[in-house]
A and B are shown apart, each in its own frame.
Chain A
Amino acid sequence: MKLYLAIMLLLPLAGGLTSALAGRLLPRRLLEFLICATVWGGFVCAALAAASYTAPLTVNLAPWITAFDLGAPLSLYLDPLSLSLAVMVTFVCGLIHIYSVFYMAEEGDYPRFFALLNLFVFAMLTLLLAENLPLLYLGWEGVGFCSYLLIGFWYQDKANADAGRKAFITTRIGDTALVIGIAWLFQLFGTFSMVQLNGMAFLIPGGVVTAIGVLFLIGAMGKSAQVPLQVWLPDAMAGPTPVSAMIHAATMVTAGVYLLARMFPFFGGSAVVTSAIAVTGGITAFYGASCAVAQRDLKRVLAFSTISQIGYMMLGVGAGAITAATFHLLVHAFFKALLFLGAGCVITAMHHEQDIFKMGGLRRSLPVTFWCFLAGSACLAGIPLTGGFFSKDSIIGALWLKGVPLYQALYVLALITALLTSFYSFRLVYLVFGGETNAHIHGSRELKVMELVLVPLALLGLCGGVLDLPGYLGGGFLGHFFANLAGGKAAEAPQATEIVLQAIAGALALAGLAAAHVAFSGKARAKRIAEADNPSALTSFLFHAWHFDDLYRLLFIRPYAALSGFLWQRMDEGVIDDSLDRLAQGVGATGTWFGRWTAGRISLYIVSFAAGGAAILGYLAWVTLS
């Protein structure tokens, strides 16, 4: 087991370092094979670890930080949560690696790209498998760093570099809260081990647990793009599409959910923290869905849908349904990667056009992409019997079963969000694939391969439900697997209640589909496209993502820029530089003035010399007299 875990971590690291250091020297085909092989090797190791898994275990690889009583060894922890996520991450990343080999076929700077992809996988696995908080934080920052570099991969374009910086700085706010939380925990307990910490929450007052839980929640907000730190994710679409698929949809953004799920036993007892998580998730889910309705950019629609779906996961964690949240996390990873990769195919075929109002008719020219994208949209919308339906419903059901007014309000919000989700998913399908062809399709051999990658993801997304079927269909695999996990045991509902809840959710999803059909199919589609250039106030408000960016610009960036300008022009240039300049000028003027003394006339020198001697003599006489 130790061997599997070590190899799983070391393979992507080795691949990334090879690509970074020697990428230029190797033949391109060999390098491409190598970086895919490392990730698939990681997947094989993960699968073998899963096959031989019996009980949670801690694996100590090596000492890392050791100073006085501060100890953070390189130790890994394997339990159902980390194991299932590790399998998912290596599998999805493996597919995306193959996809990106073809997607980036014309990119000249490929070693940098592949190195960052592999390093990202390494950091993500470190995050997942870490047993102690500093190691988790190493992975946490590692994925953030790779994400920053990959968003700004085409850094010659200032907008892309700015998007990278925005992502980095926004997540930094959350990271700071997380570091404070970690340090506080160490100060209280003297240990970093998450396994130990999770069992010690009862030792400290509830208020402290709440405070630490809120700090961790802020950290998760930054990484998982939750309101109010969500502004970076839509802009992060500036990166290459495989990166968006891999980092900003399937894996990295779920790290916040993973952290909260991992530490859930610690602060699960604090109602304030779980409520805060649930409220954050509910608001974010609704916010993301409402914004996605009005977006024009294909990738931004998907980005907002990601925000919304992660909000669902947070809702699940907040409701104490860790199994449901993880279930949705896994299924979401499949169908969201599918949607992004499909979008990548569409964008490639459309010559890098991303405006969905300028697309259309692709169902005939890209049939494979169309069917896979449709499957992904169905999952996203939660059409009954798809994977997304079961996973989302288990979260919504868990909310209802809490039986508390707050959670019931969130339940209603989640249902409205589900309706919106279904609507915008099919709006996307109708706009992109419906209507008549109005663009020349750029077909190529690479595109064919890229389409093939979509198929396994589509199958997994559609059939993802079998991972954890509801009780009346025979119960699920994940539920048994997670049964021993703290918070893993969801409240059992009577079968009748469960069927009614699922029927409500399924009906809403179908209603959204119907609404999208009415609004965007056939002749109505052309009308909507004509309307798109004159958006109503509400549409504009949603298109600008509730003007969050403008709000932050007004609240933080403007005052900060003004303060910086003041410090720069008034303080630095006005006071410090100016005083130095004045001083230098004064010294220079004094020097010039004294310089006139060196007139070159010996008589003057003699007089000066004699005056000096006379002064010394006078001083001596004065000293002697007094």
Chain B
Amino acid sequence: MSIPLEHVIILASLLFAMGLGCTVAWRSNVIMMLIGIEIMLNAVMLVFVGASARWGVADGQLFALLIMALTSAEVSLALAMVVYLHRRKKTVNTDVFDSMKG
């Protein structure tokens, strides 16, 4: 075990940035946006697990597990919503859904 925590965090931040970039760039496809969110959540889990290994306590891993449960709930709802919206407008382009305009 000679992996520096800093390298783990750099890997996680790269992953997070990619996920964020995916979410920002793929506005034409809501499913790709959700995938970006999954990538970001994985990056966060990686930080938690790395920190757990750094200090040798189980809490970080536990939070990774909780994030996973949370993600499954979020994904199920989000995908249900995607199905619902697609049924209404026959598209997955997020720019079409602008009823929140103030």
Say whether A associates with B: yes
Q: Which residues of A are in contact with B by a Cβ distance under 8 Å?
A: 595, 598-603, 606-607, 610
Q: In the assembly, what is the distance between CA of A61 and CA of B97, in Å?
A: 86
- List the A residue with the shortest CB-CB distance to B37: A606
Q: Which of A601, A607, A610 contacts B98 (CB 8 A)?
A: A601
B42 at the interface (CB under 8 A from A): no
Contact check, A610 vs B94: say whether CB atoms are below 8 A apart. Answer: no
Q: Would you call B24 and A603 a contact (CB within 8 A)?
A: yes
B94, A603: Cβ atoms closer than 8 Å: yes
**Does the CB pair A599–B98 fall under 8 Å?**
yes
A610 to B22, CA, bound (A): 12
From known contacts A598-B101, A600-B99, A600-B102, infer whether A607 and B24 are also in contact, taking CB-CB under 8 Å.
Answer: yes
Collect the chain B residues with CB atoms within 8 Å of residue A598's CB. 100-102
Do B23 and A600 touch (CB < 8 A)? no
Which residues from chain A contact B101 at a C-beta distance below 8 Å?
598-600
- Within 1-41 of B, Cβ neighbours of A (below 8 Å) are at 20, 23-24, 27, 33
- Give the interface SS of chain A, mostly helix, strand, loop or mixed: helix
Which residues of A lie under 8 Å from residue B95 when comparing CB positions?
Answer: 601, 603
Residues on A with beta carbons closer than 8 Å to the beta carbon of B98: 599-601
CB proximity of B41 to chain A, nearest CB, Å:
15
Q: Name the residue among A595, A599, A602, A607 with the largest chain B CB count within 10 angstroms.
A: A602
**A603–B102 alpha-carbon span in the complex (Å):** 15
Q: Is the CB of A601 within 8 A of B102?
A: no
Residues of B near A606 (CB, < 8 A) are 23-24, 33
Residues of B within 8 Å of A602, CB to CB, are 27, 94, 97, 100
Which of B20, B27, B99 is close to A603, meaning CB atoms less than 8 Å apart?
B27
Chain A residue at minimum C-beta to C-beta distance from B30: A602
In the assembled complex, the CB of A130 is this many whole angstroms from the nearest CB of chain B, namely: 71
9 closest A-B pairs (Cβ-Cβ)? A600-B101, A600-B98, A603-B27, A598-B102, A600-B100, A602-B94, A601-B95, A601-B98, A607-B24
Query: Cα distance A291–B45 when bound, in Å?
Result: 105
Q: Jot down 28 A-B pairs with beta carbons below 8 A, ordered by A.
A: A595-B102, A598-B100, A598-B101, A598-B102, A599-B98, A599-B101, A600-B98, A600-B99, A600-B100, A600-B102, A601-B27, A601-B94, A601-B95, A601-B98, A602-B27, A602-B94, A602-B97, A603-B24, A603-B27, A603-B94, A603-B95, A606-B23, A606-B24, A606-B33, A607-B24, A610-B20, A610-B23, A610-B24
A531 to chain B, nearest CB (A): 83
Cα(A603)–Cα(B28), bound, Å: 9
CA distance A601 to B24 in the complex (A): 12
Once the chains are docked, how many angstroms separate the CA of A601 from the CA of B28?
A: 11
| A-B contacts besides A600-B98, A600-B99, 11 pairs, CB < 8 Å | A598-B100, A598-B102, A599-B98, A600-B100, A600-B101, A601-B27, A601-B94, A602-B94, A602-B97, A603-B95, A607-B24
Q: Which B residues are CB-close (under 8 A) to A599?
A: 98, 101
Beta-carbon nearest neighbor of B102 in chain A: A598
Min CB–CB distance A440 → chain B (angstroms): 80
Using CB atoms, name the residue of chain B closest to A599. B101
How many residues on the B side are at the interface (Cβ–Cβ under 8 A)? 13
Cα distance A63–B95 in the bound complex, in angstroms: 83
* Chain A residue at minimal CB-CB distance from B93: A603
Bound Cα distance from A599 to B27, whole angstroms: 14
A600 to B24, CA, bound (A): 15
CA of A601 to CA of B102, assembled, Å: 10
Residue numbers in A under 8 Å from B27 (CB-CB): 601-603
When distances are taken between beta carbons in the complex, the residues of chain A under 8 Å from B33 are: 606
- Most B Cβ at <10 Å: residue of A598, A601, A603: A603
Query: What's the nearest-Cβ distance from chain A to residue B33, in Å?
Result: 8
| Least CB separation from B101: chain A residue | A600
- Cα distance A599–B100 in the bound complex, in angstroms: 8
Q: Which residue of B lies closest to A602 (CB)?
A: B94
Docked Cα-Cα span, A603 to B33, in Å, equals: 9
A598 to B99, CA, bound (A): 11
Give the residue name and chain of the B residue nearest to A614 (CB): B20
A602 to B23, CA, bound (A): 10
Give A602 to B78 CA distance when docked, in angstroms. Answer: 14
Q: Closest CB of chain B to A141's CB: distance in Å? A: 61
Complexed CA–CA distance, A315 and B102 (Å):
83
Output the nearest chain B residue to A597 by Cβ-Cβ distance: B102
Complex Cα spacing A601 to B98, Å: 5
Alpha-carbon separation in the docked complex, A28 to B23 (Å): 90
CA–CA, A598 and B100, complex, Å? 8
What residue of chain B has the Cβ atom nearest to residue A598's Cβ? B102
B84-102 interface bits toward A, Cβ cutoff 8 Å, 1 = contact, 0 = none? 0000000000110111111
The CA of A610 and the CA of B27, in the complex, are separated in Å by 14
**How far is B97's CA from A599's CA once the two chains are assembled, in angstroms?**
11
Q: Which residue of A lies closest to B26 (CB)?
A: A603
> Hey, which chain A residues are within 8 Å of B23, CB to CB?
606, 610
B23 to chain A, nearest CB (A): 6
Which residues of B have CB within 8 Å of A603?
24, 27, 94-95
Enumerate chain B residues within 8 angstroms of A595, measured Cβ to Cβ. Answer: 102
Please name all residues of chain A whose beta carbon is closer than 8 Å to the beta carbon of B102 when the two chains form the complex: 595, 598, 600
CA distance A602 to B81 in the complex (A): 14
Please, which residue of chain B has its CB at the minimum distance from the CB of A617?
B13
CA distance A607 to B21 in the complex (A): 9
A610 CA / B20 CA spacing, docked (Å): 8
Docked CA distance A606–B101 (Å)? 15
CB distance from B54 to the nearest CB of A (A): 19
Complex contacts, A601 vs chain B, CB 8 Å: 27, 94-95, 98
- In whole angstroms, what is the CA distance A412 to B4 when docked? 121
A612 to chain B, nearest CB (A): 12
Interface residues of B in 57-102 (CB under 8 A from A): 94-95, 97-102
Cα of A610 to Cα of B17 in the assembled complex, Å: 10
Q: How far is the CA of A330 from the CA of B101 in the complex (A)?
A: 87
Among residues of A, the one whose C-beta sits closest to the C-beta of B94 is A602
Residues of B within 8 A of A607 (CB): 24
